[in-house]
Structure formats: C-alpha cells, structure tokens
Structure 1
Amino acid sequence: MKNIKMKPAALATLAALAVAAAGSALYAPASVAADEKKAEAQKPALTVTTARPQNATLPNRLTANGNVAAWQEASIGSESNGLRLTEVRVNVGDVVKKGEVLAVFSADTVNAELAQARAAVLEAEANAAEAKGNAERARTLESSGALSAQQISQYLTAEQTANARIASAKAVLATQQLRLKYTQVVAPDAGVISARSATVGAVVGAGTELFRMIRQGRLEWRAEITASELRRIKVGASALVKAANGSELTGKVRMIAPTVDAQTRSALVYVDLPPNSSQDAPFKAGMFASGQFELGSSDAMTVPQQAIAVRDGFSYVFRLNGDQRVSQIKVQTGRRLGDRIEVLNGIKGDTPVVVSGAGFLNDGDLVRNVAPAAATASAKPVKAGN
C-alpha cells in the first residue's frame, strides 16, 4: 500500500471539521434538555372544571345550646300530721291522671275522731231542740207576765247558744272529714312522676314532700342566647332541638327571659317541646341539647362545596384567569344548604372559580379547564386490557 501524503492545508481543514463535530455533539443534549423543561413548564398541572357563583335563597338559622327541663314541676306532699303511710301506688316514671290516688295513710285514728265528731253534732242538735222549745214557751208567756224579763232573756240566750254549739260541732265534723280525705294523696294534675320519697310505714308530718311530678308531661328547652343575638328571636318562632342521644323535636318559642345574666351576658329563651308522657320518650329533663332557631330566609351567593379549600383554618377559592392560571383568593363563608356554601365576600357573582380539583391546586398553577362531563370521563379509571 502506498502512503498517501496530504498537504498541511488539508490537514488543518480536517482538524477544524473534527472540532466542530465534537462541539455539536457536546452542546446538543443541553439545548434539548432546556427545551424539554420549557415544554414541561407549560404543561397544565391539573384538569379542572369551573363554575360561577349562583344566587340562592337560604334559611336564616341561629344555633344555640341549652338544657331540657320540666315546663312546671309540682311538689306533692302530705296534708296529714302524724299518720302512718300504709300504701304507695306509684313510682318514678309512672304516668298519672288528675285526681288519681298516689299514696294512702292509715285512717283508723281519723275514723274514730270522725265518729266522735258526729256524736257531738247529734248531742248539740238535741240540746238545741230543748233550748228552742223553752224559748218558744217563754215568748208565749212574755205578755202574760208569768215570767220575768230576765228569765225570758235567759231562755232566748240558751237557744242561741245551742245553735252556736251545733255550728261548732259541725265545723269539727268537717275538719275530721277533711282529715279523712287527706289520708289519700291524689295527683293535683296529670303528668309524670319524676321523684318519690314516700316509704311505706313512715310517719310523716304535714307538708312533707312525698312525690315530684312533671305537670302534663311537658318539657321545655332553655336555650342560652347572647345579648347581641337576642333581638333576632321572636315569640312563636320555630326551633329544631337535637338531644345528645340524637333525637330531634320541633318546638316553638314560648317566652324570652326579661333579664340577661350579668356573668355570662346571655339570656334564656324558653322553647316548648311537644308533650310526651311515655317512659321511652326521647327527651328527658336535665338533658343537654343543641338547636337551631328558624328566622326566615334571605338571598345569598353560593358556590359548590368542592370549590372551597380550607387551609390553615381559612377558606379559599381558586379563580381561573384568562391565561389559564389560577389565583388563590381568601373568602368568608356563611350558611350551608346541601352541597352549596354561601360566600359572604372575596369574589363577585361573575367570577369563575375552580370546582373539581380545587383542593390540589396552588396559587399560579396552570390548569386545563374542561366541561364537567369531560372531567368526569378523564378521571374515570381505565380498565385493564383497554
């Protein structure tokens, strides 16, 4: 093989071409990577749907807490003194009617004294009859002068005294009859027995409490309302009351307390609950309950619940801008109705806000806005084999 000899000028040209090729190979990957990063930066972070706020009529409610108590509680005591209790017919939780016998005292002593009082009445009536006859004879002899004026006066006075003794004896008889009546303790009204201290065999004095009763089985919810909110509540307003056990009842405001507590700066609002005297009634006196007062309705601007993103204790929505980027806006929320939430301030009625995907966005993210149906289809998982 013959050696090919090249001129120095040709060698220099070949060397320059080799250096250029090496430089192109070195810098080409760097430019390609920069283009790829730029393309990735322009790629949307999430596919979202948007909606504009809607006007709706929302109910005005005021939430409060309080206790369930008896509408009125009656204290049923003994009206007999020194009698032994022989029978107790009711217990705690029993539903009683007005006039129903609750307990019975021993009536032996009272019956004996009653018989004595009846005998005293008969004796007084017999004495009165004799005195009346003497007085009538004295009147007939008054004009004849057979009796002196003093004797006539004595007979007339004896008649009046005998009549007075009849009245006194009848009063004693009525007292003993009343004592006999008091040997039976009766319910002053219909209701539910809430407490019992009566014990068979006990000898109690007059005025000793034997039972306590919730009159007519009526309960009320005593809601605590701050002074600033008190003016919003009117007598007759409806209230939905929910007990700690999950039971719910609808009541009506019966009365608003005329005073405000100086310590808590709150007043009591008395809400009548529907009467329920059965033992399995869902509400019991002494329960803690929360409730909402119905105060009418008003117009409001609402957005879907999905559009609200809660971060660090504050509520935000994401506004879709013309460049398909989102801006995070702090809003104040209010009432809720179903899956929509009232927005009090922060946005206007024509502001497009992100609905689906709002919880995954950050301020300034680029998004792709699609119709709700398309977003649902794109989010649907693909089955294996498709």
Structure 2
Amino acid sequence: MKDTRPMPNCTSDSPPNAKPGPRFSRSTWALAGLSGACALVAGAVLLSGASRAADESKAHTPRPALTVSTAQPQRSSVPLRLAANGSVAAWQEASIGAESNGLRLTRVLVNVGDRVAAGQLLATFSDASVQADLAQVRANLLEAQAQAAEAVANAERARSLQATGALSQQQIEQFTTAGQTAQARVAAAQAGVEVQQLRLAHTRVLAPDSGVISARAATVGAVVGSGSELFRMLRRGRLEWRAEVTASELRRVQPGTKVSVSTADGSTVEGSVRMVAPTVDPLTRNALVYVDLPAHAHLRAGMFARGAFALGESDALTVPQEALVLRDGFAYVFVLDAGQRVQQRKVQTGRRAADRVEVLAGLDAQASVAVRGAGFLNDGDLVRVATAQDVRQSAPAAPANLSPRAAK
C-alpha cells in the first residue's frame, strides 16, 4: 500500500512545524558554530599567554636569600684592659724547722690545712736529757757562786791589810785576781744554765706567725737534726697573683691599679697591684707584677690564673657581637647597599664590652650591617630587612602553662 503522507521539505533549514521566518542554510549554521569555537580558542590562547608571561616575570625576579635585621655602628665608651697570665703564690712563706739536735719528736699537733695563730704549739720533742743537763749546770752554778763568794771575801780582807804591811803587794793582787776569776766562773755557769734553758724551750715548736700550714714533714718518733724543716706555713693566709707583663706595657701598670683575676675553675677575684718588679727577665723580657688578692675559697697557691688590669675607658666604634662572622680565622661583617644586597667586609676587632665588639678598621661609621642571620650570608646575597612586626613575631612566646602574670 503506498504511503500518501507528505514528505518533509528537506531543503528547509527550519523544523517542519516552525513558524514562518527567515530561512538559513546548513552552511550558514556551521560557519557560525566554527566562528564561536575559534573565538573561544583564541581567548584561551590569550589567557594562557598572559599567565605564562606573568610566571616568567616572577621567575626572573630575584628572591631574597634571607630576612635579616640591621644595625649601625655606635660610638660607645669601652673599658681599657690589659690582659696577662700568671700564677697564684703565697705572699710570704715561713719554714718552721727543728732547733734542737738529736731529740725525738713526741707530739705533732697540727696538719696540712690547719690555720694557726702566732705562738701556737705545733710539736714537742722529748726533753728528758735536756732537763738532766739543766740540773747539772744549775749545780755547777751554785758551786761557782760559793767559790766566788769565798774568793771575793779573801780579796776584801787582803786589801784591808794592805796598810799594815802584813801582806805583800803581790799576795794582795793574787787574792784580788782569784776573786775576779771566781766571779767569771759564776758568769760562765750562769750562761750554761741559760743555754740549757734555751734547749729546753726549743723542745717546743711554736708558730712564728699566724697563717695556714701548707706542708708537714714532722713525724712522731723521728729523731731530726738541727735545722731540719718540720712545717711550712703561708703567712697570714695571704695570697698574691704574680702576673707577667711585657716590658712595653709595664709603664701602664701602677701600684693601686685594680685587677680582675679569673681562676681555672671560673671564679673571679678582684685585687689591686701592690708592687711592680724593678727588673725585667732578660730571657722572656717580661716583668712580674705583684697583685694582692683577698681571701677566697677557690684560690690555691700554685694555681695558674688569667687576669686583666683596669686602665680606664676610651671611646670606640662598636657593633653587636652577633654581626661578626668568623671565617678562615678572620672577622667579617656584611654591609647592606641600596639594592638590599650585602657586601662582605673584613674588619679588625679589638676590645669587647658586654655584647658589643670594638671595630678598629675596615668599617665605615655610617654603614648598615646585618645582625641577625649574618652567619648564613654570602657576599652578594639579596636580603630582606626585617620590620618591627617581624621582630615581634620572632620573639619567643610565653609557655602555655604559665599564668598571664607569670608570662609577663
């Protein structure tokens, strides 16, 4: 059966039921779609090119290597100090020896480290033989005194008979001489008694002055000879620092100069110069400066110590110690230029005062130097200078477990 339905108009560009209007061909619609697609592609290409150009611009812009804080050198008063090395020694030492010969030590009453007073008993020797000798010489003294009394009386009687002529002049002189001889024997006997009394006193060893016993050689039961050292004592417990100062610097040190002495264990003692040696060692060309030290628990005779003489103050150009960078044995600072780049400058340093260091040469007083972060810089690095807000943010925060009052 044949289909009699009307066929659609294939030449029309509009749908069959569309209202009458302008007619467009298929090629027109395709061209319009292609134009829109080209416009979209062109826009995308333009956007991509602009983004790529921005990325390239950012890539070629140099980035700072580090954020640093800066400071300018300052003129400040820095103490003048002369450093020296030396040894701690006793102000004076006393050697206490035996003054008796061939006696046995019976008691030793002190030991090393004991503080003694002048006249204090330190040791005793056996005095039995000395007591016997003393008794003998005392008996001899009594005998001599009796003989002297008789001889003096005879001489007096002989002189009384001189006018009568009963005795010749020779006899009278003999009696007078005998009386004088007897008196001399009394004096000799008296001297013998004093010698034995002195020997008896020497059996007691006494401290010649107050001080501290630094060495002991006395042993109970030992028989020592006269002059043998029994003890060694630091007189009055006083110590001094004997500093070695070069001949060129010696004129700057005067008696009364204040000195700060640092011992090996880190203790610091303040002293003053008592005397400057009148001679210089011909081998080392150094002179000794004697510094009186106060009593201190950590000071010992024989210790090595460093010290510094306070010679006043002077004006100096200083920078923060954090700005100094030590490399290859030299000191450097990094100076910022107008383009925020740093230049490495070699400087010569001098004295130190708290957290500042004196710069003797190599730095202009108007320069701006990197402080925080200087140790990580290299010559020519681009840096960013920290603002006040950056400094506040980098400050350490208070611990969370503290109260607000404690955090302040």
For residues 65-98 of structure 1, the C-alpha deviation after alignment (integer angstroms, 9 at most, x for no partner) is 2221111111111111111111111111111111
Question: What are the within-5 Å matches in structure 2 for residues 344-363 of structure 1?
Answer: 344-363=360-379
Match of 1:367 among 380, 383, 388: 383
- Residues 1:143 and 2:179 are matched in the alignment: no
Go from structure 1 to structure 2 and tell me whether the alpha carbon gap of 1:107 and 1:313 turns closer, same or farther (over 3 Å shift).
same
Match of 1:315 among 321, 331, 334: 331
Question: What are the within-5 Å matches in structure 2 for residues 251-290 of structure 1?
Answer: 251-275=271-295, 281-290=297-306
Shift of 1:62: 1.9
Go from structure 1 to structure 2 and tell me whether the alpha carbon gap of 1:120 and 1:330 turns closer, same or farther (over 3 Å shift).
same
Question: What are the within-5 Å matches in structure 2 for residues 1-386 of structure 1?
Answer: 34-39=56-61, 41=62, 43-275=63-295, 281-371=297-387, 373-377=388-392, 379=394
Go from structure 1 to structure 2 and tell me whether the alpha carbon gap of 1:379 and 1:248 turns closer, same or farther (over 3 Å shift).
closer
Shift of 1:325: 2.2
- Give yes or no for contact 1:192–1:216 (8 Å, CA) kept in 2: yes
Shift of 1:377: 3.5
Go from structure 1 to structure 2 and tell me whether the alpha carbon gap of 1:225 and 1:231 turns closer, same or farther (over 3 Å shift).
same
Shift of 1:304: 1.5
Aligned to 2:59, the other structure's residue is in SS state helix
Q: Distance in 2 between matches of 1:192 and 1:378?
A: 59
| Equivalent position amino acid for 1:335 in 2 | R
Shift of 1:55: 1.3
For residues 132-190 of structure 1, the C-alpha deviation after alignment (integer angstroms, 9 at most, x for no partner) is 11111111110011111111111111111111111111111111111111111111111
- Structure 2: segments with no counterpart, 5+ residues: 1-9, 12-25, 28-41, 398-408
For residues 4-63 of structure 1, the C-alpha deviation after alignment (integer angstroms, 9 at most, x for no partner) is 99xxxxxxxxxxxxxx99x99999887555423222x1x333333322211111111122
- Give yes or no for contact 1:102–1:185 (8 Å, CA) kept in 2: yes
Aligned to 2:60, the other structure's residue is in SS state helix
Number of equivalences: 362
Shift of 1:201: 1.1
Q: Distance in 1 between matches of 2:375 and 2:335?
A: 13
Shift of 1:216: 0.9
| Equivalent position amino acid for 1:87 in 2 | R
Shift of 1:219: 1.1
- Give yes or no for contact 1:48–1:375 (8 Å, CA) kept in 2: no
Aligned to 1:246, the other structure's residue is in SS state coil
Which stretch has the larger CA shift, 219-228 or 187-196? Answer: 219-228
Q: Distance in 2 between matches of 1:244 and 1:32?
A: 64
Q: Distance in 1 between matches of 2:106 and 2:260?
A: 46
- TM-score (structure 1 length as normaliser): 0.86
Q: Distance in 1 between matches of 2:53 and 2:381?
A: 25
- Give yes or no for contact 1:49–1:375 (8 Å, CA) kept in 2: no
Q: Distance in 2 between matches of 1:247 and 1:90?
A: 29
Go from structure 1 to structure 2 and tell me whether the alpha carbon gap of 1:125 and 1:329 turns closer, same or farther (over 3 Å shift).
same
For residues 266-285 of structure 1, the C-alpha deviation after alignment (integer angstroms, 9 at most, x for no partner) is 33222111146xxxx31111
Aligned to 2:132, the other structure's residue is in SS state helix
- Structure 1: segments with no counterpart, 5+ residues: 6-19
For residues 199-245 of structure 1, the C-alpha deviation after alignment (integer angstroms, 9 at most, x for no partner) is 11111111111111111111111222233333322222111112212
